[in-house]
Structure 1
Amino acid sequence: MHTGGCFCGAIRYEVSAPMTGVTYCHCSKCRRWHGHVGAYTAVDRDGFRLTEARGLKWHSVSPTVRRGFCVECGSSVLFDETPDPKISICAGTLDAPTGVREKAHIYTASKGDYYEVSGELPTYETFPRK
């Protein structure tokens, strides 16, 4: 069991299923949403449960994508795309120890011009299709 939440505690959650490795998203939308690169893990929906949602607000990005954030402290917490079987969690909202590790960088073709992507993780210019 893992737990997490926003900065002020108005959003709290539990994760009872295995989480994916952390994917760093460099797209312009994630950079604007987070103030820098997005870092997400994901879990099957039935392994995710909100235990406190009084601060949760959803921002619709498209007909199939919405981002969950706290209206009280402003923390970015969730990324939800239907019909994806998983819900994505902003990795920085997990309580330690997280048990997750890095997986990949995506959308590097649209990364910011103020930093470089380095290291040995797989890097994709767009979203990798299986």
Structure 2
Amino acid sequence: MVEMMTGFCRVCGTGQTIAAETQEEADQKATETCNCAEGKAERLRLEFRKQIRESAAEHKAKEITPLDDETLRIVLELADLVIAGRLNVATITWEEQEIEIKRTSSGLKFSRKKRLEVTIECKVD
């Protein structure tokens, strides 16, 4: 049953009156709506990670192989380093893909590109 309770931002601890069923839900909603700078950064991190997870799934139209769990874990760790400002760009070559995570002037960017290369060599005497 939904009731009014005090939810606390998990980042700064600020309390807000929230309609929720559980304390955990109230705290989550308070964290999502808090105006603290750290909360905004955490929401950005969570949203960016969510979008990366969604992109990690197979893209049949573009014939891009989905990322396996271990590769996704590594990509998310690198994304956290980019989000934190410890890296400006992270590029990974995995199977036929090139994955890039970087800071841009407007925020953050994640891209997956399918690499196709044809090489022909001919020796000339």
TM-score normalised to structure 2 length? 0.23
Instruction: Name the structure where strand makes up a greater proportion of residues.
Output: 1
Q: Which has the higher contact order (CA 8 A, sep 6+)?
A: 1
Report the structure number with the largest CA radius of gyration. Answer: 2
TM-score normalised to structure 1 length? 0.22
